[in-house]
Amino acid sequence: MKLWEKNFEINKEIERFTVGRDRELDLYLAEHDVMGSMAHITMLESIGLLTAEELTSLLAELRNIHAEIKAGKFIIEDGIEDVHSQVELMLTRRLGDMGKKIHSGRSRNDQVLLDLKLFTRRQLQYVAEDVRSLFNELITQSERYKNVLMPGYTHLQVAMPSSFGLWFGAYAESLVDDMLFLQAAFKMTNRNPLGSAAGYGSSFPLNRTMTTQLLGFDSMDYNVVYAQMGRGKMERNVAFAMASIAGTIAKLAFDACMFNSQNFAFVKLPNECTTGSSIMPHKKNPDVFELTRAKCNKLQALPTQVTLIMNNLPCGYFRDLQIIKEVFLPAFEELRDCLQMTAYIINKIQVNDHILEDKRYDLMFSVEEVNRLAAEGMPFRDAYKKVGLDIEAGQFTPQKEVHHTHEGSIGNLCNDQIKQLMDEVWNGFSFKQIADAEESLLKP
């Protein structure tokens, strides 16, 4: 069954090519398609295109279909083009011609736009929750190990004193910025395209404000042409936010792999997150973080993939946009997997608190000595020269105490302020508004 089918049959190879992976990928959208239809027909009844009795019957059956989807019993049958066709077919089988009325005032164009937005905002909530969980693990470890010093590096050369408090806390604050990016993508996503139809509106007196409220959107995409132009743009914006998170995780994974190696031995990863060698019995390879790094690097290519698919399209709908689903829909699961694995490892990671016993790190205290002499009155350049000459003469003796107190430094991590920043961003999401709206729609 095809919603556009008339009196001719399409070539099977053409059908295979044009349908592509839609039947597989539309399963991601199924429950959202049903929710969108529930809001749409509620609005249709309010403008006289459905009777109250028809609405009651249709809503009850859509709730049944939604329950089947949640229970994993929903399939898109062979020969059925997409999720929209499957849901309408199921309604028609169960309710007769009444089921054919649900498409009044909409097109598959705004229907899939709506499905994608409902799916994406749900996935963004899941990602935000996982980011927040990892953030909390990082802040906890930052506080736990705030007094354990470690070398800081520039150019991969031992540079100055750092601490595990700074290291863990740096990635926590990075996630705050990533979450701010995610929130911006969420706000652009959480706008209602329903009612834009094929991109030019409808002659029916649709109440778009009503469907916006029923679905818990913050507002609508007002201009119907822009609503259609938003396909691809939304995915690209969200992909950039996801890539920002992936960039933070990839960098953390690289650090952890390096610091876990015998040459550094700064941290020890949990045994269950490492694998062995088929030939070297001593090996414990950091495979989880290596795979995390690779997956996150792949995710950072997602915005480019989306951009290249939709980059040179004029306004209006084009079938090219279908291909975006193939790279976009599965990406959330991959990112969430990486976030959850990283949070697990950070929770169980062991820190070496005897790093500075190794004399190779003595020189990282040279700046501390220069600053000490300058604080006692010696001109900075003279202090710098003296310490440099002492090092070259083998006469430098490090003082391994540091007394940093300025904001964000070793002795004053500002973790409370970083947590406050995260709380402010988190509170800017309208997750409860959405949950309340969806619960209301599904309630008999």
Q: Tell me which of 72, 103, 134 is where a domain ends.
A: 103
257 shares a domain with 158: yes
The average pLDDT across 349-367 equals 96
Residue 294 has pLDDT above 90, yes or no: yes
Work out how many domains the chain is built from and give that number.
Answer: 3
368 shares a domain with 315: no
365 shares a domain with 344: no
272 shares a domain with 183: yes
7 within some domain:
no
305 shares a domain with 219: yes
Q: Are 39 and 214 in contact (CB under 8 A)?
A: yes
The average pLDDT across 268-280 equals 88
Residue 261 has pLDDT above 60, yes or no: yes
Q: Are 338 and 295 in contact (CB under 8 A)?
A: yes
Q: How far is CA 269 from the centre of its chain?
A: 25
33 within some domain:
yes
Q: What is the pLDDT of residues 40-52, one digit of tens each?
A: 999 999 999 999 9
Scored b (16 or more CB within 10 A) or e, 113-137 reads bbbbbbbbbbbbbebbebbbbbbbb
Give the contacts of 329 (CB within 8 A, at least 6 positions apart).
25, 28, 29, 119
Q: How far is CA 341 from the centre of its chain?
A: 14
Q: What is the pLDDT of residues 137-187, one digit of tens each?
A: 999 999 999 999 999 999 999 999 999 999 999 999 999 999 999 999 999
**C-alpha–C-alpha distance, residues 173 and 170, integer Å:** 5
What's residue 318's pLDDT? 87
331 shares a domain with 182: yes
**C-alpha–C-alpha distance, residues 227 and 191, integer Å:** 9
Residue 6 has pLDDT above 90, yes or no: no
Q: What is the pLDDT of residues 295-343, one digit of tens each?
A: 999 999 999 999 999 988 898 888 899 999 999 999 999 999 999 999 9
335 shares a domain with 321: yes
More confident residue, 444 or 112: 112
Give the contacts of 323 (CB within 8 A, at least 6 positions apart).
20, 309
Q: Tell me which of 69, 103, 137 is where a domain ends.
A: 103
**C-alpha–C-alpha distance, residues 214 and 45, integer Å:** 14
434 within some domain:
no
Query: In this structure, what CATH number is given to the domain that contains residue 27?
Result: 1.10.275.10
**C-alpha–C-alpha distance, residues 333 and 279, integer Å:** 34
Q: What is the pLDDT of residues 202-238, one digit of tens each?
A: 999 999 999 999 999 999 999 999 999 999 999 999 9
143 within some domain:
yes
43 shares a domain with 125: no
Q: What is the pLDDT of residues 381-392, one digit of tens each?
A: 999 999 999 999
Q: What is the pLDDT of residues 117-137, one digit of tens each?
A: 999 999 999 999 999 999 999
Averaged pLDDT score across all residues of the chain: 94
Strand 350-351 and strand 267-268: pairing?
Answer: antiparallel
The pLDDT-based confidence of 10 (bands split at 50, 70, 90) is: low
338 within some domain:
yes
Residue 17 has pLDDT above 90, yes or no: no
3-class state of residue 423 by DSSP:
helix
Residue 35's domain spans which residues?
12-103
Task: State whether the Cα torsion 362-363-365-366 is positive or negative.
Answer: positive
Tokens at 119, concatenated: 């799916």
436 within some domain:
no
441 within some domain:
no
Q: What is the pLDDT of residues 49-64, one digit of tens each?
A: 999 999 999 999 999 9
25 within some domain:
yes
pTM: 0.93
402 shares a domain with 352: no
What's residue 439's pLDDT? 97
Burial of 377 (0-12, 13-18, 19+ CB in 10 A): exposed
331 shares a domain with 184: yes
Of 142, 239, 231, 296, residue with least CA distance to 150: 142
The average pLDDT across 2-8 equals 52
Q: Tell me which of 103, 120, 146 is where a domain ends.
A: 103
224 shares a domain with 87: no
Task: Using a pLDDT cut of 70, give the percent of the chain over it.
Answer: 96
What's residue 11's pLDDT? 67
Query: In this structure, what CATH number is given to the domain that contains residue 143?
Result: 1.20.200.10
What's residue 4's pLDDT? 44
183 shares a domain with 45: no
